[in-house]
Amino acid sequence: MFTDFFYTLRKRKVPVSVTEWMTLMEALNGNCITNLDEFYYLARAILVKSEAHYDHYDVAFQEYFKGIEGPADISEQILEWLKDPINRMTLTEAERALFDNMDLDELIKELEKRLKEQTEQHDGGDYWIGRGGSSPFGHSGYNPAGIRIGGQSGGRHAIQVAQERRFRNYRSDLTLDVRQIKMALRGLRELNRIGPEDELDLEKTIQATCKNAGDIEFVWTRSRKNAVKVLLLMDVGGSMQPFAQLCSLLFSAAHSSSHFKDFQYFYFHNCIYDSLYRDIERREAISTEHLLRTLEPDYKVVLVGDASMAVQELTERYGAIYYYERNDTPGIIWLKRIADHFTHSVWLNPETQNSWNHPTVQMTGKLFPMFELTLDGLGQAAKKLVVKK
């Protein structure tokens, strides 16, 4: 049953497993549902396990069940709408006059005819049923005698609910806010036993007590704490301007994440050369060399930038876009030094992956594993940063 729907869901990136699918089949066997609306909610409750995937689900549902909801259903809804005199009251005087001009039966006949002729969803235009436009049928239209189908009219149907795609904002590949980023950063942890000995080690206590001929002897141990140290390097150059908001979110999340043992951050423009900066205005410089000398290799390095620049800015001596920067060493060498010095480093790119074919992005991508600056990308990056090498 509906096996294609399973694959439609998977195609739309809803992570459905066979276990869940079997659960759904079990539920369907139990005659729990009687119509498509109930199926929509039932299947969503069983198959989708995160509000981040609700939107993917809506899209897949729309794709698979489009056209299932027959015309009869819609005209029934309209008939009901028309039967209720209160609905007529919501029209203005002029509209009502116009409305009365049109014969009701005629209107419905015409609607059914058009519904049959129409094969796809339609927005705009003045004939087909859909949204906008001035056809008498559909919603958000201009025709004063028009009948609102779906839209705000009380009885909501599954396809329409799916069409609304209200959960678009919960998609994890789109939205980021500080809290969500913090969540993603929580993946960055390595638990080590550090700090004062304040945890009772039961095993050893028993052991020691036995040795002590039953006289209780407590053994304490250090509790497990996160040992991850993070170094954040952010590009604040001109081409990063559109992503300033996103980067500041990442920064505030990382900065307020209390679970890192140490957190250091520096800024650069376009590419890293001889110096890094403590502030966005680049007043307080610190030499990159010094940084590499003083920071231990076990810092997890997160570089944020679009990595797209003129090729010579990356590969040539004195290639820096600011002439006073006068770099003796090409930027790419500096990047390589960073990649070599630290054991774990990643590059987060706010641009979407399909625009990464720029030559300098490619070159940087060879030095650092590159991820999109989205929740998914951040999660993958965090994983990359804690794997043992």
Note whether 377 and 351 are within 8 A (CB): no
Note whether 292 and 333 are within 8 A (CB): no
CB atoms within 10 A of CB 338: 21
H/E stretch holding 211 reads helix 202-211
Query: In terms of DSSP bridges, do strands 275-277 and 285-287 run parallel, antiparallel, or are they unpaired?
Result: antiparallel
Question: Per rule CB under 8 A, is residue 252 in the interface with other proteins?
Answer: no
Tell me the CA end-to-end span of the chain in Å, nearest whole number. 46
Binder to other proteins among 91, 98, 108, 183 (CB under 8 A)? Answer: 183
Task: For helices 18-29 and 36-47, give the axis angle rounded to 10 degrees.
Answer: 140
Residues within window 289-328 making contact with other proteins, judged by CB under 8 A: none
> Which two three-digit tokens encode residue 251?
């920064």
Residues within window 39-98 making contact with other proteins, judged by CB under 8 A: 41-42, 44-46, 48-51, 54
Question: Per rule CB under 8 A, is residue 17 in the interface with other proteins?
Answer: yes
**Shortest gap between Cβ of 12 and other proteins (angstroms)?**
17
Total of residues contacting other proteins (CB under 8 A): 33
Question: Per rule CB under 8 A, is residue 29 in the interface with other proteins?
Answer: yes
Between 38 and 80, CB nearer to other proteins? 38
| Contacts of range 67-76, beta carbons closer than 8 Å, 24 or more positions apart | 68/36, 68/159, 69/36, 69/157, 69/158, 69/159, 71/112, 71/115, 71/116, 73/157, 74/115, 74/149, 75/108, 75/111, 75/112, 75/115
Question: Per rule CB under 8 A, is residue 334 in the interface with other proteins?
Answer: no
Question: Per rule CB under 8 A, is residue 194 in the interface with other proteins?
Answer: no
Question: Per rule CB under 8 A, is residue 196 in the interface with other proteins?
Answer: no
Between 272 and 378, CB nearer to other proteins? 378
**Shortest gap between Cβ of 279 and other proteins (angstroms)?**
23
Question: Per rule CB under 8 A, is residue 206 in the interface with other proteins?
Answer: yes
Question: Per rule CB under 8 A, is residue 26 in the interface with other proteins?
Answer: yes
Question: Per rule CB under 8 A, is residue 31 in the interface with other proteins?
Answer: yes
**Shortest gap between Cβ of 13 and other proteins (angstroms)?**
14
Note whether 353 and 372 are within 8 A (CB): yes
Q: What is the CA radius of gyration of the chain?
A: 31
**Shortest gap between Cβ of 170 and other proteins (angstroms)?**
8
Position 270: which residue type?
A: N
Binder to other proteins among 66, 113, 166, 193 (CB under 8 A)? Answer: 166
H/E stretch holding 309 reads none
Q: How far apart are CA 186 and CA 109, in angstroms?
A: 60
Question: Per rule CB under 8 A, is residue 101 in the interface with other proteins?
Answer: no
**Shortest gap between Cβ of 104 and other proteins (angstroms)?**
29
Binder to other proteins among 6, 14, 20, 288 (CB under 8 A)? Answer: 20
Q: Note the residues at the interface with other proteins (CB under 8 A).
A: 15, 17, 19-20, 23, 26-27, 29-32, 38, 41-42, 44-46, 48-51, 54, 166-167, 170, 183, 186, 202, 206, 209, 214-216
